Homo-oligomer: A and B are copies of this chain.
Amino acid sequence: MQSFELLSQKFTLHFDKTHLPATPASLYEPGEYFLKMGGKRIRPVLCLMGNELVDDIRPDAWHVATAIELFHNFTLIHDDIMDKAPLRRGFETLHAKYGENTAMLAGDVMLVTAYEHLNKIDSTYLHKILHLFNRTAKEVCEGQQTDMDFEKAQVVGFEDYLQMIGQKTSVLLAASLKMGTILGGAGERNQNLLFEFGKKLGLAFQVQDDYLDAFGDPGKFGKQVGGDILANKKTFLLIRAQESASAAGKKELQSLLKSDAPGKVEKVLQIFREAKVDAWALQLKNKFLNEALAHLEDIAVISKRKEPLKELAHFLVVREF
């Protein structure tokens, strides 16, 4: 069994090539530009780790991992258009550099390219992998639409937010792991346990993401602290504060959400602290992490094989960046 770091290095080497045809360059050069931006490549590595949880990594797992990473990049390209985001990882977004029409098409063609890689795998698994891939892709789109719907809503309930994050973030992590175990030959019970591990891990990951945005160390966190607050984004913290702050806190929060006055971030953080949202978030994160680890524990393979996933889970959830 290999650690996340080692598999991540191997996948990066495998993925670091030209993925798209040369012509028309007006369509494919933008796609290559986007892929070259890099990224943590968490999802494809989860696929490889899911495979290795039960057996040696099969060649097909590399095809599926590649398809997953291309799919993820397709969603980022289209999400950036929808969010009107100018930058990603410090680079111009695809639509900012090449225009929205080309960005839309470059995303479309990247999704088709993902399916080309899926089509390389053995017939034995093709139906099952395609089925899971399609279901996942639809859920990710559903999550993105619900997220956009939430932007227009004044208040979003905790359970609704949880479901949206489950679709937008967790399901692809979970499905990546599950596709790997399918290829590794795991039984259905183990496949489903690993899927649930991935779903809970995704939720813990998102809580940490939301926490860092508000309470992260500016020196370690790569992004501007308070970015979500400035953008009035629904987060675990905001939703909790809207439910649990004092009457005065709730009222102030309501009016802060409508204003762009200076000091907004500090004022919102003050309400978060008064409502003890920071401690609540750390508890919630640990709850999801423990639920994830319990599912992992339950999987019927020797515990040595689970070590890399356990390490990764802890790392993703305690990271400060």
B-contacting residues of A (Cβ < 8 Å)? 21, 23-24, 26-27, 78, 81-82, 101-102, 104-105, 107-109, 111-113, 115-116, 118-119, 123, 126-127, 130-131, 134, 137-138, 141-142, 144-146, 148-149
Contacts and interface: CB of A to CB of B under 8 A. Distances in A.
A141 B78 contact: no
A104 B80 CA distance: 12
Could you tell me the dominant secondary structure of chain A's interface residues? helix
B115 A146 contact: no
A145 B119 CA distance: 25
A136 to B, nearest CB: 9
Given A24-B142, A148-B101, A149-B26, A112 B134 contact: yes
A141 B26 contact: no
A285 B6 CA distance: 60
Residue of A27, A109, A141 with most chain B CB atoms under a 10 A cut-off: A141
B101 A141 contact: no
A109 B138 CA distance: 6
What is the oligomeric copy number? 2
10 contacts: A21-B138, A24-B142, A26-B146, A27-B141, A78-B104, A82-B104, A108-B141, A109-B142, A113-B134, A118-B130
A304 to B, nearest CB: 36
B27 A145 contact: yes
A170 to B, nearest CB: 17
B24 A105 contact: no
Contacts of A141: 27, 105, 108-109, 112
Contacts of A118: 130
Contacts of A119: 127, 130-131, 134
A168 B127 CA distance: 29
A146 to B, nearest CB: 5
B131 A112 contact: no
B115 A115 contact: yes
Nearest to A115: B134
Contacts of A107: 108
Contacts of A23: 142
Shortest beta-carbon contacts, A-B, top 3: A27-B145, A82-B101, A112-B137
A7 to B, nearest CB: 27
A111 B111 CA distance: 9
Contact of A81 (B104, B148, B149): B104
Nearest to A71: B112
Contacts of A145: 24, 26-27, 102, 105
A2 B131 CA distance: 33
A102 B26 contact: no
Of A26, A109, A112, A146, chain B has the most CB atoms within 10 Å of the CB of A112
Nearest to A103: B104
Contact of A112 (B27, B104, B138): B138
